[in-house]
């Protein structure tokens, strides 16, 4: 498909296990973003990449969370030693460019994937 | 990035215009106003953005006040499928994270 894809769509794991969430951005998109969304809340920024370089990881809640995008395309968000409070929808987005090419351009429009619903028991 | 304030919920009759307000009194000169919406459990969807001039596209119109401290998103003929949470976001044009607030939950009723 032409959109952002994420896998798995649903993940149930036991407390203490590690999980890896995958994001496949739209082909050719330079920027890739990870967000987390709790029920009834807006998405919360975690981290983002331009190509393979991690530009901002200020939203990662603690050192159990990490992300990589080694070849500038697919990205993996890893949560080590999961806790129940990590349960949420994890959303990935990509944009053609990091910023606006001009006032009338929409090169920084973020296209969101369907998300991975993580449940930690 | 500047903070935004939106009403938590609004109702609109199907076929009528939906006018969604947003206050962003601390916006700086190089920051843009973006609108995204989220329908039920789907991912957020871009609607429109602007700097200081009014903007219109196939989805909506964006009216920004002259002092840029507030804006209004207009859906000219709301349909039931426009029922969603609408987020007003202020951000620089250099890219990076979107900071989503609580948004406005718009209910379009028949």
Nearest CA in chain A to B44: A112
User: In whole numbers, what is the pLDDT of chain A averaged over residues?
Assistant: 93
Q: Which of B85, B100, B91 is nearest to A36 (CA)?
A: B100
With a CB cutoff of 8 Å and minimum separation 6, the contacts of A53 are none
Predicted confidence (pLDDT) at residue A107 exceeds the cutoff of 90: no
| Average pLDDT rounded to a whole number, residues A41-60 | 95
Q: Does B70 reach chain A within 8 Å, measured CB to CB? A: no
Pick the closest to residue A5 from A27, A18, A24, A20 (CA basis). Answer: A24
- Over the stretch B47-86, which tens digit does the pLDDT of each residue have? 999 998 899 999 999 999 999 999 999 999 999 999 999 9
What is the distance in angstroms between the Cα of A80 and the nearest Cα belonging to chain B? 24
Nearest chain A residue to B97 by CA: give it.
A45
Nearest to A92 by CA among A47, A42, A39, A30: A47
């Amino acid at each position: 498909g032409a959109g952002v894809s994420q896998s798995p769509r649903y993940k149930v794991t036991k407390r203490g296990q590690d999980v890896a969430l995958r994001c496949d951005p739209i082909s050719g998109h330079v920027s890739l973003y990870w967000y987390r969304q709790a029920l009834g809340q807006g998405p919360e920024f975690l981290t983002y990449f331009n190509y393979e370089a991690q530009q901002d990881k200020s939203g990662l809640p603690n050192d159990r969370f990490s992300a990589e995008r080694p070849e500038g395309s697919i990205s993996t968000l890893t949560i080590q030693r999961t806790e129940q409070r990590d349960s949420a929808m994890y959303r990935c987005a990509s944009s053609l460019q990091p910023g606006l090419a001009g006032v009338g351009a929409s090169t920084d429009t973020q296209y969101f994937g369907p998300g991975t619903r993580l449940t930690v028991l | 990035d500047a903070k935004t304030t939106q009403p938590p919920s609004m109702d609109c009759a199907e076929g009528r215009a939906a006018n969604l307000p947003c206050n962003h009194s601390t916006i700086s000169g190089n920051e843009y106003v973006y609108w995204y919406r989220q329908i039920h459990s789907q991912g957020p969807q871009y609607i429109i953005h602007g700097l200081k001039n009014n903007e219109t596209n196939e989805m909506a119109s964006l009216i920004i006040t002259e002092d840029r401290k507030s804006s209004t998103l207009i859906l000219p003929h709301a349909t039931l499928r426009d029922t969603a949470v609408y987020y007003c976001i202020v951000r620089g044009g250099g890219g990076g994270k979107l900071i989503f607030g609580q948004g406005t939950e718009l209910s379009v009723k028949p």
